[in-house]
Structure 1
């Protein structure tokens, strides 16, 4: 029997004038994550600008926008295969401004300036802890795993990540704006007391540099029975965010803080399973160094 005729595919060739050279530079896909990071940086600076004019609502809204941008620029870089050391360093510098300097500055102008010079101490502490967290992350990028150390279970941050830390620090403003919208001016004034904001800033600063494991939700697999309730809950939260944005943001902060003990329990359970699977019988293992992930 005769063989079927072969099919030829003609690949289109790009027309290039004779002697023309390819233009040097980076493609737009590789620049897009850095452009998003720059937009987040601009959002943080603009938040400071609004805080100087005592416009608290747009100021904290821009911090939330910067957190949203920070959540997608890294994933977009990995999707486009545009990750680079420059992008990682630029992202850390942007995070320090948006989530370390700007929230502390907003809280100082909002209420902490009433405590005279003492109100600036928690702001400095919070910014310093944010810088230490980000520096620890940059130093741990190329750090190899020590011999005999048990690797950390995937899906966990070390300490509270930078965007979540900024959201927790701004919790008093979210709660006060919600109570003012409901007409509860007395309760809103009590929340605006400098002592509460100072305590929150110091507590969140400790969480930033701590080694507490917190869920990252990157590799978390949702069980099939929980998919529908999760989607309905997300839709309900979006509806609450549209109707009562400040109450929704304050509730998100309380929910996140309440999940920390559960993430700690889950981490120790998974790490015990890893230790039993990796270590030979009769040989003791030690915990790996704690990488910091912003």
Structure 2
């Protein structure tokens, strides 16, 4: 394996380490640093794929290694966090496990798709890093911004919600490139820049990062509903 082929895998190792360290913090009850480690893991996960494509070093090994790291950082760690923070009985383990299973299915489906060299405009189903960020930022948001007697029910609902989105066929936006040629691409750049600024100022982001991450889902839902209505109109024409 050449040094150019090793470089993307170093980012994958960084992603895996973020997940491992996040689990350490979760076990200790420190959810905020764990949540930000998962965000960092998502950034590294995004970079390893881009770097592999840029270097022309996409490989079956890299794809499988990336998925194994993802299931740790974006599957196991968030599932453990929501269980530790909001669920407190043995039988409730089934709900984080459902989320974990849906994440594994999402990764397996992605790995069976043809790996083209061009940039994709949409993901099919919610990517597991996005689901992990939403789930862990919900834990931080709930801890900082509100207290409710329905915490368990809300945790179960969001686990079902994110699990269903991961195995769905709803088209969700990919990360924008540096060159924005359309108004929508420029808006996506603004959205992700806002998210980056919130990460830089964590005192503010504890209350606003979760709502901002939920906004990411909105265009995908609008696109999906529009397609359903279009199909229904075509069938009745």
TM-score (ref. length: structure 2): 0.83
C-alpha distance in structure 1 between counterparts of 2:31 and 2:10, whole Å: 26
Higher RCO (CA-CA < 8 Å; seq separation 6+): 1
Find the partner of 1:49 among 21, 24, 31.
24
Pair 28,248 (structure 1): closer, same or farther in 2 beyond 3 Å? farther
Find the partner of 1:206 among 154, 158, 164.
164
Report which of the two has the higher share of helix: 2
Per the TM alignment, residue 83 of structure 1 is displaced from its structure 2 partner at its CA by 1.3
What's the CA shift string for 1:11-60, capped at 9, x where partnerless? xxxxxxxxxxxxxxx33221010011011001101101111110111111
Partner of 1:38: 13
Partner of 1:133: 106
Q: Quick check: 1:155–1:216 contact (8 Å CA) kept in 2?
A: yes
- For 1:244, what is the secondary structure of its paired residue? helix
- For 2:216, what is the secondary structure of its paired residue? helix
Partner of 2:90: 117
- Unmatched runs of 5 consecutive residues or more in structure 1: 1-25, 143-153, 180-186, 273-294
Partner of 1:95: 70
Q: Quick check: 1:47–1:59 contact (8 Å CA) kept in 2?
A: yes
Partner of 2:174: 216
Per the TM alignment, residue 101 of structure 1 is displaced from its structure 2 partner at its CA by 1.1
Pair 216,224 (structure 1): closer, same or farther in 2 beyond 3 Å? closer
In our comparison, the structure showing a higher alpha carbon Rg is: 1
- Unmatched runs of 5 consecutive residues or more in structure 2: 232-237
Per the TM alignment, residue 140 of structure 1 is displaced from its structure 2 partner at its CA by 2.7
TM-score (ref. length: structure 1): 0.68
C-alpha distance in structure 2 between counterparts of 1:191 and 1:208, whole Å: 28
Find the partner of 2:141 among 144, 153, 175.
175
Q: CA RMSD in A?
A: 3.1
Per the TM alignment, residue 259 of structure 1 is displaced from its structure 2 partner at its CA by 2.2
Find the partner of 2:216 among 233, 256, 262.
256
C-alpha distance in structure 2 between counterparts of 1:97 and 1:156, whole Å: 24
Correspondence 1:161-172 to 2 at 5 A: 161-172=127-138
Per the TM alignment, residue 171 of structure 1 is displaced from its structure 2 partner at its CA by 3.9
